[in-house]
Copies of this chain bind each other. A is one copy, B any other.
């Protein structure tokens, strides 16, 4: 069931500053920042060839990463996203195993326009897991 690692999301307090460090210190090739007000974040992708880093900055009130940045003001790794072929089958297998799906348990359309689910970090040893149907 577990497919490719689609991206690792890193929450940062200042996207311009963080992306400049990735570009200048690490030599990363940056995408363009994209404001996604309906998701409460501005995102910027770094393509590593085999997968992506998603830098996330809060946008607007009630951003889903605001609480994380309150706990981790410097930023940090926020979640990891795996691809699945069939998100409903994946959800049902996860629920049968006892894992908790966040929200109402139904996929919603994520920041990339595809159906996504988030799984409770307490069920995955402190890691917030996103599943994306590709």
Q: Which residues from chain A sit less than 8 Å from chain B, CB to CB? A: 1-5, 8, 10, 12-13, 18, 21-22, 24-29, 46, 48-51, 53, 72, 74-77, 80, 82, 90, 93-94, 97-99, 121-127, 129
Evaluate contact between B5 and A53: CB separation under 8 angstroms.
Answer: yes
Evaluate contact between B1 and A124: CB separation under 8 angstroms.
Answer: no
Give the number of times this chain occurs in the complex, counting copies: 2
Evaluate contact between B5 and A8: CB separation under 8 angstroms.
Answer: yes
Question: Could you say which of B27, B76, B94 contacts A93, with CB atoms under 8 Å apart?
Answer: B27
Evaluate contact between B75 and A125: CB separation under 8 angstroms.
Answer: yes
The residue on B at minimum CB distance from A29 is B2
Evaluate contact between A25 and B94: CB separation under 8 angstroms.
Answer: yes
Given contacts A5-B8, A80-B8, contact A74 B122 (CB under 8 A): yes
Evaluate contact between A2 and B27: CB separation under 8 angstroms.
Answer: yes
Given contacts A12-B125, A21-B124, contact A3 B76 (CB under 8 A): no
**A2→B76 CA distance, assembly (Å):** 19
**A111→B87 CA distance, assembly (Å):** 34
Q: How far is the CB of A45 from chain B (nearest CB, A)?
A: 12
Evaluate contact between B94 and A10: CB separation under 8 angstroms.
Answer: no
